[in-house]
Amino acid sequence: MTGLTRRFGSGLGVVTASLALMLGGIVATGSVAPASAEAKAAAQATHAAKTAKRMISRSKAIDIALGDAKLRRGHVRGLETEIDHEDGKRVYEVEWVKGAYEYEYDIDAYTGKVLDRDVERIGT
């Protein structure tokens, strides 16, 4: 009988696979040994970094807010944006003036969802 054993490391454990060649066929066996706490933490951090959501761009947040208000960039004045945290969420605050009205929008920085909108008449 001829045998082959191979160890494969991963962040979740070590896999040991064994193949034995015997007359009349192949016999395969294997086992998984648990990984150390450090290896698990590193694997989880790597996975989290790869799957982390990306923030939408500032320009996209502006487009979402203006689209919701049914306006275009060239038709407003004083357009401002800033990033902030509200209710545990990262949001873009988008503000502008159109005619006698001031618009204020909160846009979720990851999903692009309109979280809040406020339109106020300015002046008299």
Task: Please give the full DSSP string across 3-64, using - where no structure is assigned.
Answer: EEEEEEEETTEEEEEEEEEETTEEEEEEEEEEPPHHHHHHHHHHHHHHHPPPPPPHHHHHHH
Q: What's the farthest any 2 CA atoms get from each other in the chain?
A: 97
Cα separation of 79 and 62, whole Å? 9
pLDDT by residue (tens digit) across 5-40?
Answer: 565 555 555 555 555 555 666 666 666 566 677 877
pLDDT at 65 over 60: yes
- pTM of the predicted model over 0.75: no
Going from N- to C-terminal start, the domains of the chain cover 2-51, 58-121
Please name which of 89, 81, 88 lies closest in space to residue 109, comparing C-alpha atoms.
89
CATH number of 58-121: 3.10.450.40
- For range 73-97, the mean pLDDT: 95
**pLDDT, greater one: 77 or 48:** 77
Q: How many CB atoms lie within 10 A of CB 109?
A: 23
